[in-house]
Structure 1
Amino acid sequence: MTGEKFFVYPDKVDTFAFDWGRLALTVGPEVNGAERFSGGVVDLQKGQGHARHNHPGAEEIIFVVSGTGEQMVEDENGNPVVQQVGPGCTIYVPESRFHSTLNTGDGPMRLFVVYAPAGPEQALRELPDFRLIPAEK
Structure 2
Amino acid sequence: MSETVKAPATAPVVAAAEVAANRRRGGDIRVVLSPKTVGSTSGFMGTLTLRPGEYVTEHYHPYSEEFVFVVEGTLVARVEEVGVFEVSAGAGFMVPIGARHRVWNDSDTEVRAVFHLAPLAPRPELGHVDTEQLPAGGEGMSQPDVGAPRR
- Number of residue pairs matched by the alignment: 123
The alignment status of 1:73 with 2:113, answered yes or no, reads: no
Note closer, same or farther for the CA distance 1:30–1:5 as it changes in structure 2 (3 Å cut): farther
| AA partner of residue 74 (structure 1) | E
Residue equivalent to 2:110: 108
Please tell me whether the aligned partners of residues 25 and 56 of structure 2 are also in contact (alpha carbons under 8 angstroms): no
RMSD of the alignment, in Å? 2.5
Where has structure 1 moved over 6 Å in runs of 4 or more? 127-131
Deviation at 1:17, TM superposition (A): 2.1
| AA partner of residue 93 (structure 1) | V
Given the two structures, how large is their TM-score scaled by the length of structure 2? 0.71
The alignment status of 1:12 with 2:18, answered yes or no, reads: yes
| Structure 1: segments with no counterpart, 5+ residues | 132-137
Structure 2 distance, partners of 1:103, 1:23, is: 14
Structure 2 distance, partners of 1:55, 1:46, is: 26
Residue equivalent to 1:49: 55
Please tell me whether the aligned partners of residues 5 and 32 of structure 1 are also in contact (alpha carbons under 8 angstroms): no
Deviation at 1:90, TM superposition (A): 0.9
Structure 1 distance, partners of 2:89, 2:108, is: 14
Identity, % of aligned positions: 25
Residue equivalent to 1:134: none
Note closer, same or farther for the CA distance 1:37–1:23 as it changes in structure 2 (3 Å cut): same
What's the secondary structure of 2:52's corresponding residue? coil
